[in-house]
Structure 1
Amino acid sequence: MNAQPVATVTASAATAKPIEGRGTWALAWSRLRHDRVAMISLVVILLIVVVAIAAPLVAHVTGHPPNEQYRDIGLSPEGLPRAPNSTFWLGTDDLGRDILVRIAYGARVSLLVGVVATGLTVVIGVLVGLAAGYVGGWLDTVLARIVDVVLSVPFLLVAIALVSVTGPSMTVTVLVIGFFSWASVARIVRGQVLSIREREYVEAARSLGAGSIRIMFVDVLPNVLAPVIVYTTLLVPVVIVTQATLSFLGLGLPPPTADWGGMISSAQNYYTTAWWFVVFPGAALLITTLAFNLFGDGVRDAFDPRFSQQLRR
């Protein structure tokens, strides 16, 4: 009487798919894919990247180079910027240049500085944090004091001093931002390394004769990448805003380079008579930083969903 049910259960068990384990990265990607805000933000970021790459195409379609001054058709008889029209879709600036084209080229500058400066920051911070956390001892003490010194130096004063000596340039901007940002990454990495350097798999690697360099980069580093990635996604918008701030203060890229901070600075005296001059570059900066921040929040929640649950309580 019970043979048939037992056979059925045995056959079902045999044909059932085995339960597959999912690693941290797979779970994080699954959570991120189901986060609508993060995915929409990622689409916006990709669109901004496309606009930056296609900046020469935008200039070709409009027929307006980014630094060309159209004083006859780009300025009113009173010498004021032109409002958005069929010739200048987003209007012109105080020199008669096409704002749409300059915003597209400004996206190139912001993304390039954001990615390069963030990459420099993360590389330096990870190397210093790994060395300090894993080696420890006097090296940890020395590096910790260096981190404290870097974090205590007034950023704007040093930036002004460097620019006054070397002149404004993209290289100086990237180096200044990278130099003053790596210390925070180093602290995060050092704390993570201190918590895992005595774990079993690290001790096993030591007992097998692995060198310190191999252990740091093969056994330790992959286990601290998650917080580094989260911090990196949240650091990019900070770097973009910092670059725009330096340009706004005249410490960024030299004119006539198109960048959003410089455009907003030039529009200070025209916000009552030419609203488009300040609104469109400001909106581009706001949308870009907001998209990166929202995506960074999604990445953080994907790796640590408990954090977002605590915020809701």
Structure 2
Amino acid sequence: MTVVEEEHPTVPLWRQGLRVFAENRLALVGAGMFVLLAALSFLGPLFYHTDQVHTDLTAVNLPAGSPGHPLGTDGVGYDQLGRLMLGGQTSIIVGLAAGVLATAVGTIWGAVAGFAGGWVDSAMMRVVDAMMSIPALFLFMLLAAIVTPSVPMLIFIIGAFAWLGPARLVRGEALSLRSREYVQAMRAMGGTGGRAVRSHIVPNAIGTVIVNATFQIADAILYVAYLSFLGLGVPPPAANWGGMLSDGLADTYSGHWWLLYPPGIAIILIVLAFNFIGDGLRDAFEVRLRRR
């Protein structure tokens, strides 16, 4: 009797990853939270028109629920809901761009150092150790005081120093991965170090890279808040959630709670969103969790 083997079609890896991501309920919640915050920030001003350039001293510190001002106004008359939308644009753009920049630089640096080993690894990691010995916030403050803060400058400043953590993490992964059989087999067949880093080291460290990227984005948003609190953020009439939070802290003792809670809640939600998304992406990209 002839046994006919049932053929199972191979599921594309991207579809497997999407299925694993969809099975993570917290990841879907995080994605939904980010979509809502991004829609509020970038699409909201198209439907809710406010003047975020000129101050209105006749409408200062109006409470939440005032006619025409659902979240009230701040100390110079800006509509708080419109300010929240404008601030979200700056915070999200700087956070995403600086986090991606820092993760990309750190991934390349750490992968090359860990795969090369020897004196190359020692020299590259001494650079990282030397830069990490200087408090990052101090460097950000110094550079922000020297140059005029702007969105592109904040992205460059934060990304230029936030890559040190990802570099150390990826370097540890590379040290472990470079001794694997498939990497050794590729090198034995004449494969170059660059191909090994590009095709094996970085893809197999993607879980670490993705999870760390979420923290980098959250940290970038918080660094913008720190700089804004010290008066070194993007100058008015531009806004960001961190600057709004610092302004709200100054007015909290006067009972103006609507200046503090909306930006604070927005920061908490977007940080949680990126952490949830990062956990889902880690599972989706992790090779050993892909269903064959």
Query: TM range, normalised to the smaller chain?
Result: 0.7 to 0.9
Aligned residue runs from structure 1 range 186-225, under 5 A: 186-225=167-206
In the alignment, what sits opposite 1:163?
A: 144
d(CA) in 1 for partners of 2:201, 2:275: 28
Q: Structure 1 residues 302, 221: CA separation in 2 closer, same or farther (over 3 Å shift)?
A: closer
In the alignment, what sits opposite 1:147?
A: 128
Structure 1 position 267, deviation (Å): 2.2
Q: Structure 1 residues 219, 88: CA separation in 2 closer, same or farther (over 3 Å shift)?
A: same
d(CA) in 2 for partners of 1:139, 1:36: 43
Equivalent of 1:273, from 255, 258, 266? 255
Equivalent of 1:54, from 31, 36, 43? 43
Q: In the alignment, does 2:162 pair up with 1:181?
A: yes
In the alignment, what sits opposite 1:290?
A: 272
In the alignment, what sits opposite 2:215?
A: 234
* One-letter amino acid matched to 1:137: G
Structure 1 position 155, deviation (Å): 1.8
Structure 1 position 169, deviation (Å): 2.6
* One-letter amino acid matched to 1:279: Y
Q: Structure 1 residues 20, 170: CA separation in 2 closer, same or farther (over 3 Å shift)?
A: closer
Q: In the alignment, does 2:55 pair up with 1:65?
A: no
Gaps of at least 5 residues in structure 1 are 1-5, 307-313
Structure 1 position 152, deviation (Å): 1.3
In the alignment, what sits opposite 1:31?
A: 20
Structure 1 position 301, deviation (Å): 5.4
d(CA) in 2 for partners of 1:126, 1:143: 13
Alpha carbons 1:170, 1:252 under 8 Å: kept: no
Structure 1 position 188, deviation (Å): 1.4
d(CA) in 2 for partners of 1:235, 1:161: 20
Q: Structure 1 residues 203, 301: CA separation in 2 closer, same or farther (over 3 Å shift)?
A: closer
Structure 1 position 120, deviation (Å): 1.1
| Partner SS for 1:267 | helix
Structure 1 position 69, deviation (Å): 1.8
d(CA) in 1 for partners of 2:86, 2:229: 16
Output one character per residue of 1:75-123: Cα deviation in whole Å (capped at 9) or x when no partner: 3xxxx43432231121111001111111111111111111110111011
Structure 1 position 207, deviation (Å): 2.6
Q: In the alignment, does 2:98 pair up with 1:112?
A: no
| Partner SS for 2:163 | helix
Aligned residue runs from structure 1 range 290-309, under 5 A: 290-300=272-282
Structure 1 position 218, deviation (Å): 2.3
| Partner SS for 1:290 | helix
Q: In the alignment, does 2:2 pair up with 1:18?
A: no
Q: TM-score, normalised by structure 2?
A: 0.87
Q: Structure 1 residues 303, 202: CA separation in 2 closer, same or farther (over 3 Å shift)?
A: closer
* One-letter amino acid matched to 1:135: A
Structure with larger RCO (C-alpha < 8 A, sep 6+): 2
d(CA) in 2 for partners of 1:195, 1:26: 28
d(CA) in 2 for partners of 1:19, 1:163: 56
d(CA) in 2 for partners of 1:294, 1:199: 31
d(CA) in 2 for partners of 1:301, 1:219: 18
Alpha carbons 2:229, 2:246 under 8 Å: kept: yes
Gaps of at least 5 residues in structure 2 are none
Output one character per residue of 1:61-86: Cα deviation in whole Å (capped at 9) or x when no partner: 33x122232222x23xxxx4343223
Structure 1 position 278, deviation (Å): 1.4
Structure 1 position 256, deviation (Å): 1.9
| Cα RMSD for the two superposed structures | 2.6
Q: Structure 1 residues 21, 170: CA separation in 2 closer, same or farther (over 3 Å shift)?
A: closer
Alpha carbons 2:207, 2:281 under 8 Å: kept: no
Alpha carbons 2:71, 2:80 under 8 Å: kept: yes
d(CA) in 1 for partners of 2:154, 2:94: 8
d(CA) in 2 for partners of 1:185, 1:236: 12
d(CA) in 2 for partners of 1:140, 1:262: 40
| Partner SS for 1:50 | helix
